[in-house]
Chains A and B, each alone.
Chain A
């Protein structure tokens, strides 16, 4: 089983919609996770960190479900500018493992 797995999508949503997707992880001891956003041909940029209590930043909400070993990212009131690939990262021993990314396309 891969250390971190994501549904590649794409998730095609209309502007203003809510979109949510998950990232599963295999290391049950992991306690902190990260969501990164990567635009086409650019570097990943940190979107938010996710700890036990989850995290909310404006229209973005991340949750951690330890029992089922996944983290989720929810985007409310989607904007065209939210179109990107979202990578999740989770600790594996002393390094971060990343998923392949979930592509979100917001259409007008």
Chain B
């Protein structure tokens, strides 16, 4: 299934590196989300974009910077991350309103050394 794709699938980076995660959805949705999933913890919503406009920033540190150039693409720019930022980062999309069914991408497993 290729409704929501994410690249890269795995990423190892040092604390001084800058990297970007990419998400693309082919479902015609207008809402896109970034989630963080750490071991044994609930999905943590990070950012929400609706029609390319950011409508939610869930108290995410500024070392995470999202970008949504259009309704189909979503980026998460990373810089000066900490080891505790190591997690699975999931992108999702849905039709607005936000409470409609969300479809997830395969995630990027990030390790910060």
Interface string of A74-96 (1 = CB under 8 A from B): 00000000000001010100111
Binds B, one of A12-20, A43-51, A65-73: A43-51
Chain A residues contacting B74 (CB-CB under 8 Å) are: none
A-side interface size class: 20 to 34
B-side interface size class: 20 to 34
Interface string of B88-112 (1 = CB under 8 A from A): 1010000001110111111101000
Interface-central residue, A32, A42, A91, A98, by most chain B CB under 10 Å: A98
CB-based contact A101/B42 at 8 Å: yes
- Say if the beta carbon of A1 comes within 8 Å of chain B: no
Whether A94 touches B98, Cβ cut-off 8 Å, given contacts A43-B107, A44-B104, is yes
Chain B residues contacting A91 (CB-CB under 8 Å) are: 98-99
Name the residue on B nearest A48 (C-beta): B101
Chain B residues contacting A25 (CB-CB under 8 Å) are: none
